[in-house]
Amino acid sequence: MSARLAFLLLAGVACLPGATAAESPVVFSCDFESDTWWREWGVRDRDLHTDTVTTDPDRKFTPHRGRALRIRVDRGGHYGASLEFHFRKRTGAEPEEIYFRYYLRLADDWNPERGGKLPGIGGTYGRAGWGGRKVDGTDGWSARGLFEGRKNGHTPIGFYCYHADMRTQYGDNWVWRREGFPGLENNRWYCIEQYVRLNTPGQRDGILRGWVDGRLVFEKTDVRMRDVPALKIENVWLNLYHGGTWTATADHHLYIDDVVISRTPIGP
């Protein structure tokens, strides 16, 4: 048995020998070990804000498991990364519930004064649900991750959600604070897992959950993402963006590893 298969079996996400892709709960995984890892995301070229590393001593990096994706936001800039796994293109259908797990490490130079966006799940369809494009229940929705400005040695994280009950032009910040969770420290790996189950069209029964290192730190069970059944889960969005309208006051780095998208819980 390969080390990779053993890892997936232990994580509870591997396809058993002889099982078909349709029977496997795993939809996609990426461990960034390949020299051309971006092709696994359907991208032709690597973004210049990203690279893979096994060492980065200037930022106190230690690997999680082999190579990790390093993402940079430049001083005075917003952008870090934007990779999308499109369900219809890659699997032929769009789900109504999904689990998304990734490992995250904030670098030693991570010190944002204000917030921005982290990876998450969405269904904007290029129409609404990001960038101040308010949704109306028929055109889109999204639940990206978010980070807030660093406070007392921790970076609060959560969901940045465009949903049918939103009141302003921009999405709502739902910070993960259950049981006093303070956020993330720099220079350590965390297992971040998100779960989205879309609501029954027109009803407030959609579910968002968030786990850190297997601990449930957020749950909301009354979300109205959509009013029509045509809206589903379009993609998982590996996104890093500093802002809003504000920009980074210094260079910031973070690392991502061992991404898994699954129909069933994944865990650390």
Cis peptide, bond prior to residue 244, ω within 30 of zero: yes
Averaged confidence pLDDT in the chain: 92
Residue 22 has pLDDT above 90, yes or no: no
How much is the average pLDDT of 256-261?
98
Task: Report pLDDT digits (tens) over 89-104.
Answer: 999 999 999 999 999 9
Cβ–Cβ under 8 Å, residues 255 and 105: yes
- Tell me whether residue 7 is in a domain: no
- Tell me whether residue 56 is in a domain: yes
Task: Report pLDDT digits (tens) over 136-193.
Answer: 999 999 999 999 999 999 999 999 999 999 999 999 999 999 999 999 999 999 999 9
- Tell me whether residue 102 is in a domain: yes
The amino acid at residue 3 is: A
Residue 228 in tokens: 């029509």
Q: Comparing C-alpha atoms, which of 83, 15, 79, 38 is closest to residue 263?
A: 15
The total number of structural domains that make up the chain = 1
How much is the average pLDDT of 192-196?
98
Residue 3 has pLDDT above 50, yes or no: no
- Tell me whether residue 221 is in a domain: yes
> Which residue range(s) make up the domain with 148?
25-262
Residue 29 has pLDDT above 80, yes or no: yes
Residue 221 in tokens: 């069970």
- Tell me whether residue 257 is in a domain: yes
List the CATH number of the domain containing 206.
2.60.120.200
- Tell me whether residue 200 is in a domain: yes
Residue 21 has pLDDT above 80, yes or no: no
- Tell me whether residue 49 is in a domain: yes
Residue 32 in tokens: 């960034």
Judged by DSSP in three states, 9 sits in helix
